[in-house]
Amino acid sequence: MELFLQQVIAGLSTGGIYACMALAIVMIYQAIDQLNFAQGEMAMFSTFIAWQLLQWGLPYWVAFFLTIAISFLVGIVIERVVFKPLKSAPVLSHVVIFIALFGILNSGAGFIWDFTVKTFPNPFGTKPLFGQSVISIHDAGMIVVISILLVLLFAFFRYTRVGLAMRATAANPDSARLVGIRVGWMIALGWGMAAAIGAVAGMMIAPVVFLEPNMMLSILLYGFAGAVVGGLTSPFGAVVGGFSVGVIENLAGTFIPYVGRELKLTIALALIVAVLTVRPSGLFGRVVVTRV
Amino acid sequence: MRQILLSARHLRAFYGTTRVLHGLDFDIAEGGVTTFLGANGAGKTSTLRALSGMIETTGEVRFRGQAVAGKATEELARLGIAHVPEGRGTFGRLTTEENLQLGAMARSDRAGIAADIARVYGYFPRLSERARQQAGTLSGGEQQMLAIGRALIMRPKLMLLDEPSFGLAPLMVDEVYTILRKLKEDEGVSMLLVEQNATAALALADRAYLMETGEIVMSGLARDIGRDENMRRAYLGY
C-alpha cells in the first residue's frame, strides 16, 4: 500500500510537469490550430537560460522568475517574427517551421552550452518530507509550484479581462475582432504564456532528468499524450490528462511486470493511439462541427 | 438634413478574386436607421462585412469624416462600428454575462460598463435570467438579443445589424423589432440594418436601399420605397 501511494505521488509530481507541457501545447493549439512540436525545445532552452543565470551567481528564485520573464518575451517574439507572417499559410508550412524551430533550438543550445550532461540545482533539497519515505521534498515542492502556477493561470483566465479576451479569441476569433479585441496580440500573448509555462516545467524537471539539449524529448511526448487524453480543445482537460499520464506511467512501470522503466514511454504512446481511436476529441474535448 | 455618419464611394468587395460588390455609393445619416433590402445573394451581408473590414475591398469609405477603408476589423470596432453578424457571433462556451462583458473590451470605465450591462438587462430581462448560463444554450431569439446587447455595450456610433429576424419565430421577430425601435427612439443609436424581412425593416427604417446582384438599384425614403409598386410585388408580396 505504501509503495502504491508512493508511486501515485511520484506520478503526480512528474504528471504536473506533463500537465504543464500539455497546457502549453493546448494554449498554442487553441490560438493557431497547430501542434507546436518545438514546445519541449523551447522549455529546454529556457532551462539552459536559467542554468546560465545560476552560473553567473544569481540566487535560485531570482533566476527562476527572470527565466520565466525572458521566456515569456521570447515566446511573444517568436510569434510576432515567425508565425504572424505565416498565419494564412497552409498546415505544412507550419509543420516545417515547427521542425526547423525544434532543430535550431536543439543545436543552438548544444552550440552555446555543449552537449555534456549538466546537473541542475534542486531548490527544495532531496530529503524525505516529514522524515517519512512516502514523498520526497522535491516531489512535494514540484507539486506545490505546479499547483500555484495552475491556480494563477485559472484565476487569470477566469477573473481578468485579458483572460476573458483570450478565451473569446480561442472560441471565436471573428466575433472577438468584432468587439474590438486585438486578436493578433492575444495570440502572441498565448505564445508568451506557453513559453513561460514550459520554462517552469523545464526548470522543475531538470534536476530529475538532468540538463542537456535532448532532455525534453520524452517529456514533450508525455505532454502530447496528456493533451490528447484530455482533449486538445480543453485546457482543463490537458491538465487532468497530464496528471493522469504521470500516474498511469508510474503505476504501470512499477506494478506491471516487464514494463519497467524502459517501456514507460511506450505506454504514453499507446495511450495517444488508444484515445485517438476510441475518442478522437479526448476526454474533455468538444467535437468541432464545421458547416460547409 | 441630418449629418452624414458614414459614406461609401465606389465600394467594391471581393472573396478571393470573385467580385461580389460592384461599386456601391451610399450615405448613412447620423441617428437614423438605414436599411439594405434585397434577395438572397444580393450582397447585403457582403456590404456589412466590407464596412467592418472582414473582406477585401477597394473604394472609399469615410466614417465620421475619417477615411477608414482597409482598416482592420478590431480597429473599426474600436472606432465605434458595432457589427452584429449573421449567425449572431455568440461565444457559445462563455456565459451570457461574459458575452456582454466582451462588448466592453475596448472600454476601461468600470462603473460605466457595469451600468451599461444593467441597462442591457433592463432592455432584455430574459438575458438577466440567464446571466450565468452558457450562451450556446440560449434560444435563437435570446442569442439575437445577446448579440444586440453586446453591441450596445460597445457604445457604438453605428450598429450594423445582419438579419436580426433570421430564423426567429414571428412573435420573437416582433419582440426584437420592438426593442430596436426603442433603441432608435430612446438612445438615438444609428443603425444600418440588412434584412430579408422587408416589412419589418421598412417599418423601422428612415432610408432604404434596394440591392440586386451586388449593386444598388433603388434608394429613397423608407416610406416611399415601401409604397413603390415594383418593390411591393417583388419583396413585400402584396
Say what the pLDDT of residue A292 is. 44
- By C-alpha distance, the chain B residue nearest A168 is B91
Confidence grade of residue B122 (pLDDT, cut at 50, 70, 90): very high
Q: What average pLDDT score do residues B170-198 get? A: 91
Distance CA B113, CA B130 (A): 19
Domain B4-89+157-236 adopts which CATH fold? Rossmann fold (3.40.50)
Q: Does the structure show a pLDDT above 50 at B7? A: yes
pLDDT band per the 50, 70, 90 thresholds, residue A88: confident
Between CA A67 and CA A77 the distance in angstroms is 15
Q: What is the pLDDT of residues B223-234, one digit of tens each?
A: 888 888 777 777
The values of phi and psi at residue B83, to 5°, are -100, 115
And the C-alpha cell for B198? 422587408
As a whole number, mean pLDDT of residues A32-38 equals 90
DSSP β-bridge partners for residue B219: B209
If you compute the radius of gyration of chain A from its CA atoms, what whole number of angstroms results? 19
Burial class (CB in 10 A: 0-12, 13-18, 19+), A285: buried
Q: Determine the pLDDT at residue B112.
A: 93
B143 touches chain A (CB under 8 A): no
Given a cut of 60, is residue A22 above it in pLDDT?
yes
Domain presence at residue A69: yes
Domain extent, residue A190, equals 2-215
ipTM over 0.85: yes
Q: Which of A62-71, A120-129, B182-191 has the highest mean pLDDT?
A: A62-71
- Average pLDDT for A110-121: 94
DSSP three-state, residue A212 = coil
Report the pLDDT value the prediction gives residue B238, as an integer from 0 to 100. Answer: 61
Neighbours of B226 (CB within 10 A): 20
> Does pTM surpass 0.80?
yes
Q: Which of residues 174-203 of B touch A (CB under 8 A)?
A: none
Mean pLDDT within B86-93: 90
Q: Do A174 and B91 touch (CB under 8 A)?
A: no
SS3 content of chain A, % helix, strand, coil (to 5): 75, 0, 25
Minimal Cβ distance to A179: which of B77, B92, B93: B77
Q: Measured between CA atoms, how close is B82 to chain A, in angstroms?
A: 7
User: What per-residue confidence (pLDDT) applies to B103?
Assistant: 95
- pLDDT computed for residue A130 by the predictor: 63
A164, A182, A286 member nearest B102 (Cβ): A164
**Is the model's pLDDT at A125 over the cut of 90?**
no
Q: Which residue of A has its CA nearest to B78?
A: A180
Confidence check: pLDDT of A57 > 50: yes
**pLDDT score of A18:** 95
Size of interface A-B (CB pairs under 8 A): 65
The confidence band for A289, taking pLDDT boundaries of 50, 70 and 90, is low
- The reply to whether A250 falls in a domain is no
**Based on the structure, what is the number of domains in chain A?**
1
- What is the Cα–Cα distance from B183 to B190, expressed in whole angstroms? 9
* Contact flag B85-A182 (C-beta cutoff 8 Å): no
pLDDT of A288 reads 57
Q: What residues contact A51, with CB distance under 8 A and at least 6 apart?
A: A113, A118, A120, A206, A211
Distances (CA, A) of A29 to A19, A36, A39: 15, 7, 11
State mean pLDDT over A211-222.
93
- A287 has a pLDDT exceeding 80: no
Q: Does the residue A172 lie in any domain?
A: yes
pLDDT at B53 over 90: yes
Q: For residue A39, which of A53, A51, A25 has the smallest C-alpha distance?
A: A25
Q: Are A174 and B89 inside 8 Å of each other by CB?
A: yes
* A chain contacts of residue B73, beta-carbon cutoff 8 Å: 177-178
pLDDT number for residue A290: 53
Q: Per the domain annotation, does A247 fall within a domain? A: no
